[in-house]
Amino acid sequence: MQPDPVLARGLASRYGKADREIRKLIRSMAEVRAAAGKKTLFGGSREEAAVKAFLEQLFETCGALVDTRVLNEASTKAQSLSALNSVLGSYRLAYPGETEAFRAWDDFFRYQVTVEPHKPWLKSTA
């Protein structure tokens, strides 16, 4: 990832601790695209493992964004994903070389906003 240094510093100062998690999320999105259609040595799906890692990192990132008060944990799935999409829009400008990663996000976002959009999904069940 070769970021635009000025934009990357601005985003790091704006999102603080969550910046690191967002950059991990971008790497996991790139892994999803890279693993598409690939099999392991024993015939398993590499894409399945990459998607699982992406979803785990997505919730880590959302947790960090809730801590920094960018996201509200009681909001609906559509509201949370729209807010996260706005944040990632800024990162899309700062990391122009990560087009495949952001294509993975676009596919995920388009699908998830249509499935139970009014259900809260960040709220802890404990």
pLDDT in tens, 86-116: 999 999 999 999 999 999 999 888 877 666 6
Query: CB under 8 Å to 44, separation ≥6 — which residues?
Result: none
Neighbours of 58 (CB within 10 A): 20
Total length of the chain: 126
Residue 77: per-residue pLDDT: 79
pLDDT score of 19 more than 90: yes
- For 9, the token pair is 């510093």
Q: How would residue 126 be classed by pLDDT, with cut points 50, 70 and 90?
A: very low
Q: What is the mean pLDDT of the chain?
A: 86
pLDDT of residue 116: 65
Q: What percent of the chain has pLDDT over 70?
A: 88
| pTM recorded for the entire structure | 0.84
Question: What pLDDT does residue 4 have?
Answer: 84
More confident residue, 7 or 110: 7
Proportion of the chain above pLDDT 90, given as a percent: 52
**What is the per-residue pLDDT for 56?**
92
